Amino acid sequence: MDDNQLLRYSRHILLPQIGIEGQEKLLAAHALVIGAGGLGSPVALYLASAGVGRLTICDGDEVDLTNLQRQIVHRMQAMGMKKAESARQTLAGINPEVSVAALAERVDEARLETLAAGADIVLDGSDNFVTRHAVNRVCVRLKKPLVSGAAVRFDGQVAVFDLSGADSPCYSCLFPEDGEAEDVRCAVMGVFAPLTGIVGSIQAAEALKVLTGAGETLAGRLLLLDALTMQVRTIRLAKDPACPVCSTA
Ligand SMILES: [Zn+2]
């Protein structure tokens, strides 16, 4: 790190759990961020400001007025612009040292696999089960850590799937693809603006912990947050031995 980097990241370096060594791990890391919406916004902002060296941000949508209530990486002047590019521009204004690849595309599973193969960690901020399951399958196959988040109405969820161990549960163990979990999208259901900030910020925190090895991550646990009562609880996740995605049996 040069003098400017030592200054920029000094408040991380002061933390014994991160230090220079941890910050250097962040600078060398590459995170794949799926979605530049309500969750992807705080995820991208914190990963970039914290100095994760490379970010690949995928989002095929364009910024519109209904997004600005919560998708805090976007600005008024970005309306009509692709969200990935809008995010890239905002991040460049905060930390130009971070290399951001803005992919304005709706990625299918094959594309996800190529992108995830080059990343150290995947953060899922997508808003639909089809994408979430595709991201999960790819992370299971490549054994990439996955930080999953969801926020709708006043309800938030965050989980980390380690996927390196044979007994690690995956997203599909929790929400089977043929299960009863329905797509409840912000577009229809409404979402409390700061909830996406809380959930996305927890995702960013977990990613920084996974990348630096600091503390204990949510691996194998699901955090549930009710923003109406501000009750938070975490439940242990068990691997489903019959899971069609991650079971080796
Ligand atoms: Zn599974």
Judged by DSSP in three states, 233 sits in strand
Name the H helices within 118-223.
129-142, 171-174, 186-189, 193-212
Burial of 194-225, coded b for 16+ CB within 10 Å and e otherwise, reads ebbbbbbbbbbbbbbbbbbebeebbbbebbeb
**Is 246 annotated in the active site?**
no
* DSSP β-bridge partners for residue 157: 150, 224
Kindly give the distance from the C-alpha atom of residue 239 to the centroid of ligand 1, in angstroms, as a whole number. 6
Kindly give the distance from the C-alpha atom of residue 197 to the centroid of ligand 1, in angstroms, as a whole number. 28
Distance separating alpha carbons of residues 40 and 35, to the nearest angstrom? 5
Q: Which of 159, 160, 162, 109 has its CA nearest to residue 134? A: 109
Q: What pLDDT does residue 177 have? A: 86
pLDDT in tens, 57-82: 999 999 999 999 999 999 999 999 99
Determine if residue 99 is left, alpha or beta; phi over 0 gives left, psi from -120 to 50 gives alpha, anything else beta: beta
pLDDT in tens, 209-218: 999 999 999 9
pLDDT in tens, 103-129: 999 899 999 999 999 999 999 999 899
Tokens encoding 125: 């901020």
Kindly give the distance from the C-alpha atom of residue 140 to the centroid of ligand 1, in angstroms, as a whole number. 8
Query: How much is the pTM?
Result: 0.96
Q: Which of 169, 175, 88 has its CA nearest to residue 131? A: 175
| Catalytic residue selected from 58, 170, 173, 186 | 186
Kindly give the distance from the C-alpha atom of residue 249 to the centroid of ligand 1, in angstroms, as a whole number. 12
Tokens encoding 190: 């409404």
Q: What pLDDT does residue 190 have? A: 94
Kindly give the distance from the C-alpha atom of residue 248 to the centroid of ligand 1, in angstroms, as a whole number. 10
